[in-house]
Amino acid sequence: MSVFEGLRFRKVYSPIHSLDPRIKFIYVIVIFVIAIIFWQVIPLLILFFMQLPFVLLARVQKQWLRSLRGAAFLATFIFLLNILATYISSGFVLLAFDFERAFALTLRFVVLVESFSVFFLTTSPDHLGLALEETRVPYEFAFAFTTAVRFVPVLAEEAQTIMDAQKARGLELEKGSLLKRIRNYVPVLIPLIVSAIRRSLELAEAMESRAWGATKKRTNLYSLRLHRGDFALIAIIIGIIIVAAYVYIYFFASIPAITQFLQL
Amino acid sequence: MAIIEIKNLTYTYPGATKPSINDVSLKVEKGEFVLITGPSGCGKTTLCRCFNGLVPHFYQGELKGEISVAGLETLKHHTHEMARHVGLVFQNPENQLFALSIEKDVAFGLENLGVSQAEMRQKVDWALHQTGIYDIRERSPHEISGGQQQRVAIASVLAMQPEVIVLDEPTSFLDPLSAEKIFEVIYELNRKQGITVILVEHRLDLTAKYTDHLIVMDEGKIFFEGDPRDILNSEQTRLIGVGIPKATLLYQMLKKDGLNLNKTTPLASEELADQLLEALKKW
Ligand SMILES: Nc1ncnc2c1ncn2[C@@H]1O[C@H](COP(=O)(O)OP(=O)(O)O)[C@@H](O)[C@H]1O
Ligand SMILES: [Mg+2]
């Protein structure tokens, strides 16, 4: 059950959650681009810590830490691979600065993961669906997206029920070689697929009965409007762009490395 | 003119060998509360699909005869046109809700019709109030009970303000108490808003008292049609496999054993209780 709880979405209210998802997305893209442009540790650290107020304001620190932990494995891998590559290419010597560069590249990856996870952790699917509807994405896509979010937990629960039922009839899922184990899942998959097809037919019937496709000009119960918070975020985004551009143009070469400090 | 008129309707699903609806003729007047019952597989769901044109537009197949609902021939009007006039509520509440919040689901039909936002808000709120789910309008469908989900399904067709609402075994996934609440909501809509109701149900114990137009179907045909007190009192009805209300059965037994009860067949326990009290007083 606990696995499926994770799939279900709940409405959460916080200043960050109620921001316009489109603006939040632009914010993420800006952070993304800046993280790609800079390769030095200090600006990347700044970018990393800049997300913290968002995380705290949205009160998603637990989930945020979990997503970072999820990225830790890949981050370690990137770090070691970089060290190894420099070690080999520089003729089997390692300088302190090589560590710093490997660290910076890893940090860049972490910042990318972090900013996207902040976006997805603080944007509820219905908000995202609404944003899709309001941009020029065809309505069918937005509908497919929200319907998927709606039915993924339902299907997951159903899969669990079918698994329990088949186990009760003596099916052993966890036994045998890999191939055998995959085959074991056939009696679970077939009823699941059959039921999913029936479900989709019923859904189609219900949609038809509620005037699906009546007009080309669909309207919407909600509309996204920019509020104070959104304007604040736009101001922040512009500020970030100006600072980043300024630093990039005038100081890019003179951004100090951490190793330089340590040698002082 | 009757709001629903069916003449010699026969319908066969594509690939089926025998018709699922077989020479059915039916008239329903505006504002009626019609109850349809019959053993499973007798064509109740198929008949419901005829009312808003799902049969034949969605299901294809072969349709013969005439059917018009709210003055529109369903053969000539697509389901999305019929949707303004006929609302269909299905058996499984889970598969009728596709949005991530309840009010968004209720608005779905109006959004499809292109109704303006202000008008939509007003109609959605009205439908939410009518079905008693206004307070939970911002929840998501899996946070609420099956009974509430079914009320959302009712609200979502109600929002389009149809003249007719057709409900196909809306309570078969629900417990008796939630079922009773659903029936009360439906009855209120019929009585206060004057909406014509077609209800397909097995639970006659809870629903027979709402209607004076009962239809018993069997094997794609209308077997009996008329006053539930006559139909449910007949032996043949029981033999088809219709769930006769317990009050009616007990009434028949007591009557057979010579108890001098009132002539009108009771359909609900309260009615029988009154008759028994009356009989005991005379004793
Ligand atoms: N989609 C379908 N395709 C083919 N045959 C169907 C379909 N739906 C129902 N039937 C058949 O039509 C008959 C009537 O079914 P249905 O209307 O669902 O009965 P009820 O709702 O009274 O249980 C049954 O014999 C059933 O097998
Ligand atoms: Mg049925």
Domain identity same for B228 and B253:
no
**Residue B90 belongs to some domain of the structure:** no
Q: Do B58 and A204 touch (CB under 8 A)?
A: yes
Domain that holds residue A229: 1-123+225-264
A85 and A28 within one domain: yes
Q: How confident is the model at residue A63 (pLDDT cuts 50, 70, 90)?
A: confident
- Segment B114-137 mean pLDDT: 96
Query: Looking at beta carbons, which residues of chain B come within 8 Å of A154?
Result: 94, 142
A205 contacts on B by Cβ (under 8 Å): 49, 54, 58, 90
Query: Comparing B5-14, B72-81, B110-119, B270-279, which segment has the lowest mean pLDDT?
Result: B270-279
- Prediction pTM value: 0.87
Residue A204 has φ and ψ, to the nearest 5°, of -60, -40
User: Do A210 and B108 lie within an 8 Å CB cutoff?
Assistant: yes
Is there an atom of ligand 1 within 6 Å of B273 CB? no
**Category of A92 on φ-ψ map: left (φ > 0), alpha (ψ -120 to 50) or beta:** left
Q: Nearest CA to CA, how far is A222 from chain B (Å)? A: 8
Is B51's Cβ below 8 Å from some Cβ in A?
no
Looking at the structure of chain A, the number of domains it has is 2
Q: In terms of domains, do A118 and A232 share one?
A: yes
Nearest to B156 among A210, A215, A220 (CB): A210
Looking at the structure, tell me whether residues B70 and B205 fall in a common domain.
yes
A29 and A117 share one domain: yes
Between A39 and B87, where is the model more confident? B87
Q: Select from B89, B13, B82, B88 the least CA-distant residue to B53.
A: B82
Rounded (10°) CA dihedral A140, A143, A149, A151 = -90
Q: Which domain holds residue B134?
A: 97-157
Last residue of a domain, one of B157, B179, B204: B157
A144 and A119 co-located in one domain:
no
Residues B211 and B266 in one domain: no
Asked if residue A219 belongs to a domain, the reply is no
Residue B91 lies inside a defined structural domain of this protein: no
Residue A41 lies in a domain: yes
Final residue belonging to a domain, choices B157, B175, B207? B157
User: B8 by DSSP, 3-state: which?
Assistant: strand
**B196 and B171 in a common domain:** yes
Q: In a 10 Å sphere around its CB, with 0-12 CB exposed, 13-18 middle and 19+ buried, how is residue B262 labelled?
A: middle
Kindly tell me the number of DSSP H helices and DSSP E strands found in chain A: 12, 0
Q: Are residues B102 and B237 in the same domain?
A: no
- A233 and A195, same domain (yes or no): no
Residues A247 and A193 in one domain: no
CATH number at residue B182: 3.40.50.300
Shared-domain flag, residues B126 and B146: yes
Tell me which residues of chain B, numbers 75 to 134, contact chain A at a CB-CB cutoff of 8 Å: 79-81, 83-84, 87-88, 90, 92, 94-101, 103-104, 107-117, 120-121, 124
pLDDT at B213: 96
pLDDT band at B14 (very low <50, low <70, confident <90, very high): very high
Distance between CA B52 and CA B84 in Å, rounded?
A: 10
Q: Are residues A146 and A255 in the same domain?
A: no
Q: How many domains does one find in chain B?
A: 3
Q: How far is the CA of B41 from the centre of ligand 1 (A)?
A: 6
